[in-house]
Amino acid sequence: MKFTLPPLPYSPDALEPVISKETIHFHYGKHEKGYIDNLNSLIEGTQYEEMPIEEIIVNSEGKLFNNASQTWNHIFYFYQFSPEGNKEPKGELKFKIEEQFGSIEEFKKKFEEAGTTLFGSGWVWLAADENNTLFIIQGKDADNPLTKGLRPILVFDVWEHAYYLDYQNQRGDYLKKLWDIIDWEIIERRFLGS
């Protein structure tokens, strides 16, 4: 199976000013494409060649894991945004966040804190277990909750290439602004497993 870079569900400038067209061009158009090209090269002629990417992630390590996971992580990240999406959680997910974290604002504060305190590069995830218990997870480098048997729901990319063109070294400002483009309808569907 050959992996390809899927087109984004919005135009390259649709997320401005939160994420600039230039960042989309480099981060998604070039950086993510590099992971996909590396992944295709690494799986060619191997047992991984016909596996779904999620299986590659949980069954590989090293360079193959890094490229498979980064490919998946970036698509998951970019596909949670919408210039016109629902800006606040609703339904079961809202109830669960409030139950576990006290309020939506308290959850956002804890999520941002996990992003600003992660040393080096990586990801901050909201993930759920089979009982729909929620976890905020700091992931180093290419980490992915799938490897822990958890269902990813929401993610913020805290590699510098995700924000440096738009925010320089102000990671906290970047994390705070991402809430403006999160489409909570997408996040709710992920939480419900649909």
> Residues 98, 185: one domain?
yes
pLDDT at position 122: 97
Mean pLDDT of 37-51: 96
pLDDT tens per residue across span 131-168:
999 999 999 999 999 999 999 999 999 999 999 989 99
Mean pLDDT along residues 22-34: 94
Same domain, 162 and 100: yes
pLDDT at site 102: 97
Residues 13-16: contacts with CB under 8 Å, at least 24 apart: 14/83, 15/81, 15/83, 15/181
**Residue 181 maps to a domain:** yes
Tell me: do 151 and 175 sit in the same domain: yes
Mean pLDDT to the nearest integer, 123-133: 96
Residue 159 lies in a domain: yes
Same domain assignment for residues 40 and 110: no
Q: How far is CA 12 from CA 85, 87, 90, 95, in A?
A: 16, 20, 28, 33
| Residues 98 and 132 reside in one and the same domain | yes
pLDDT tens sequence across 63-103: 999 999 999 999 999 999 999 877 889 899 999 999 999 99
Q: What percentage of the chain reaches a pLDDT higher than 70?
A: 99
Same domain, 184 and 134: yes
How far does CA 173 lie from the centroid of its chain?
18
CATH of the domain at 35: 1.10.287.990
Q: What is the CATH number of the domain that holds 95?
A: 3.55.40.20
* 187 and 97 fall within a common domain: yes
Are residue 154 and residue 131 in the same domain, yes or no? yes
At 87 the pLDDT is 82
158 and 67 fall within a common domain? no
Please give the mean pLDDT across all residues of the chain.
95
Specify the number of domains making up the chain: 2
The three state secondary structure string of the chain is: CCCCCCCCCCCCCCCCCCCCHHHHHHHHHHHHHHHHHHHHHHHCCCCCCCCCHHHHHHHCCHHHHHHHHHHHHHHHHHCCECCCCCCCCCHHHHHHHHHHHCCHHHHHHHHHHHHHHCCCCEEEEEEECCCCCEEEEEEECCCCHHHHCCEEEEEEECCHHHCHHHHCCCHHHHHHHHCCCECHHHHHHHHHCC
Domain final position from 44, 78, 112: 78
72 and 151 in a single domain? The answer is no
| pLDDT for res 120 | 92
Whether residue 116 is found in the same domain as residue 182 = yes
Q: Which domain holds residue 49?
A: 21-78
